[in-house]
Amino acid sequence: MMYKNILYLVGLLSLILSSAVVAEQQPVAELRHFLAVTKTMQAEFKQVSFDEFGNPGQTSYGRFYLQRPGKFRWDYQKPFAQQIVSNAEKVWFFDADLEQVTVKTLDQSLGSTPALLLSGKMALEENFTLQKQGTDEDLQWVKLIPKN
């Protein structure tokens, strides 16, 4: 009887641990799937910049458009109007206040940022360490830490 209870406990513990591993990997697997199947998308965004101590700084708002591979457009509306447009090879940065356009190659302008993942030109796990960050407002968060 005691032997059966120990086996039951070991089996239950194995099930709980394997469920925890699956739950830990689920957001990462969903991110991989999203990057593999998404060809087009558009969304409104809120971007918050943080200083080296993790304190929030400037907040920007706008709209984002994506067509893979490599084509995207960021329309910043607040606090300053700016557009960033890519055609898979070059990126144009237009600053409305300065009436200035800067042109760079795609790799030069994005480096190893997560934005390059959206372009379809960068492998996820080759360039980032992924960490599950929990759930907030029904969204699962994954932290991407550049390996370089």
Output the domain CATH number for residue 59. 2.50.20.10
Would you say residue 114 lies in a domain?
Answer: yes
Would you say residue 1 lies in a domain?
Answer: no
**Of residues 14, 25, 107, 120, the one with CA closest to residue 67:** 120
* Tally of domains in the chain: 1
pTM: 0.60
Would you say residue 13 lies in a domain?
Answer: no
Higher pLDDT, 136 or 115: 136
Distances (CA, A) of 138 to 14, 27, 134: 28, 12, 10
Peptide bond into 56 cis (omega under 30): no
Would you say residue 35 lies in a domain?
Answer: yes
Would you say residue 80 lies in a domain?
Answer: yes
Identify the DSSP state of 51: -
Distances (CA, A) of 97 to 63, 80, 94, 102, 147: 18, 8, 9, 13, 36
Domain ranges, residue 90: 26-146
Would you say residue 115 lies in a domain?
Answer: yes
pLDDT over threshold 90, residue 96: no
